[in-house]
């Protein structure tokens, strides 16, 4: 669980942390479009540099981002093998065990890999610099137009924010129960399959009972504080766009336009 970087908020102070979550969400959407459109290395170079700049500004550390790539290595290798076997255009680069590897196969794979790496960097950047609760506020705001169709935006946002809020709690609880069972001689890493099943059971059963207990307690607490689903609610923190949010969105928009233009003209 210690290697779990993806989706973790890093509580430090930086310009990127200060940006409005709604702006960051819009930025995320624009940048993802920008990453998936182009077919030229120039566009990737520009996007890559921008992402790198944002990473440096956010002070989250390049090491952390590199760590979040690790789970992808297997997928990348798999992709390379499949592409090498199926794509047969371009020049023959080399031959392994009577399979001819064409240049397009390698380039296609590289494209996909670069896109994925950029996308992971961007999303990790968002989650690392935005508090989960701010993120749900942003999502709620973005979903606002759906209210026209009677979509319960507030309730959905509340559910999402409760779910997000309890992820760290549940992880903490999991670690604690794991520690308690380790003290009773459970070995979560080694052992036969049957003993592994028992060790997992010794974790899951208490976890479920704790989760249910917490859910009841939370429901009681919300009711005690007068929460009524669907009621009109006001907010203590009101999100406000500042000049730097507009600059940020403008940069993201410009990047997207640039990458569309490279697709058309390059």
Partner 1 sequence: MSISFKSLSHIYNKDMPYAHKALDNINLDIKEGSITAIIGETGSGKSTLVEHLNALLLPDEGSLEILDYNIVANQKQKFLKPLRKDVGLVFQFSEYQLFEETVIKDVIFGPLNFGFSQQEAINKSIEALKLVEIDEKYFNVSPLELSGGQKRRVAIAGILACDPKIIVLDEPTAGLDPAGSKQIIDLFVSLNKTLNKTIIIVSHDNEMVYNYCDDTVVLSHGKVVYHGSTLDLFSDQKLIEEFHLLLPQIVQFKNELTENGFKISKEARTIEDIVGEVIKQVKK
Contact present, 154 and 137 (Cβ < 8 Å):
no
For residue 3, state whether it binds partner 1 (rule: CB under 8 A): no
- Per-residue contact string for residues 115-154; x = within reach of partner 1 by CB under 8 A: ----------------------------------------
Choose between 4 and 81: whose C-beta lies nearer to partner 1. 4
Shortest spacing between CB 25 and partner 1, in angstroms = 24
For residue 226, state whether it binds partner 1 (rule: CB under 8 A): no
Shortest spacing between CB 184 and partner 1, in angstroms = 4
Distance between CA atoms of 169 and 167, rounded to whole angstroms?
5
Backbone angles phi, psi at 88, to 5 degrees: -125, 40
Choose between 129 and 136: whose C-beta lies nearer to partner 1. 129
Distance between CA atoms of 182 and 172, rounded to whole angstroms?
15
Contact present, 72 and 116 (Cβ < 8 Å):
yes
For residue 11, state whether it binds partner 1 (rule: CB under 8 A): yes
Which tokens is 104 given?
Answer: 């397009």
Q: How many of the chain's residues bind partner 1 (CB under 8 A)?
A: 27
Interacting positions 148-207 with partner 1 (CB under 8 A): 173, 176-177, 179-187, 201-202, 204-206
Tokens 């989760």 correspond to: 211
Choose between 110 and 177: whose C-beta lies nearer to partner 1. 177
Shortest spacing between CB 6 and partner 1, in angstroms = 14
Shortest spacing between CB 173 and partner 1, in angstroms = 8
Distance between CA atoms of 54 and 122, rounded to whole angstroms?
9
Shortest spacing between CB 179 and partner 1, in angstroms = 5
Shortest spacing between CB 222 and partner 1, in angstroms = 22
Choose between 11 and 226: whose C-beta lies nearer to partner 1. 11
Interacting positions 50-109 with partner 1 (CB under 8 A): 59-61, 63-64
Shortest spacing between CB 202 and partner 1, in angstroms = 5
Choose between 64 and 72: whose C-beta lies nearer to partner 1. 64
Q: State the residues that interact with partner 1 by CB under 8 A.
A: 10-12, 59-61, 63-64, 173, 176-177, 179-187, 201-202, 204-206, 209-210
């Amino acid at each position: 669980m210690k290697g779990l970087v993806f989706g973790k908020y890093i509580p430090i102070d930086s310009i990127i942390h200060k940006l409005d979550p709604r702006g960051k969400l819009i930025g995320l959407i624009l940048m993802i479009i920008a990453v998936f459109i182009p077919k030229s290395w120039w566009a990737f170079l520009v996007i890559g540099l921008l992402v790198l700049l944002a990473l440096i500004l956010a002070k989250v550390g390049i090491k952390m981002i590199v760590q979040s790539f690790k789970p992808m290595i297997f997928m990348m290798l798999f992709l390379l093998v499949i592409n090498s076997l199926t794509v047969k255009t371009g020049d023959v680069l080399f031959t392994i065990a009577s399979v001819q590897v064409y240049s397009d196969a390698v380039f296609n794979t590289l494209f996909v890999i670069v896109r994925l790496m950029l996308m992971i960097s961007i999303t990790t950047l968002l989650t690392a610099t935005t508090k989960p609760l701010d993120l749900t506020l942003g999502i709620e705001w973005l979903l606002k137009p759906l209210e026209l169709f009677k979509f319960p935006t507030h309730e959905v946002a509340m559910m999402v924010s409760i779910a997000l809020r309890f992820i760290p709690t549940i992880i903490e609880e999991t670690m604690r129960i794991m520690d308690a069972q380790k003290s009773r001689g459970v070995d979560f890493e080694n052992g036969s399959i049957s003993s592994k099943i028992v060790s997992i059971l010794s974790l899951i059963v208490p976890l479920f009972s704790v989760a249910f207990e917490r859910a009841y307690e939370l429901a009681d607490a919300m009711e005690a504080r007068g929460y009524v689903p669907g009621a009109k609610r006001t907010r203590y923190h009101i999100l406000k766009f500042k000049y730097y949010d507009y600059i940020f969105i403008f940069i993201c928009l410009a990047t997207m336009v640039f990458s569309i233009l490279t697709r058309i003209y390059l």
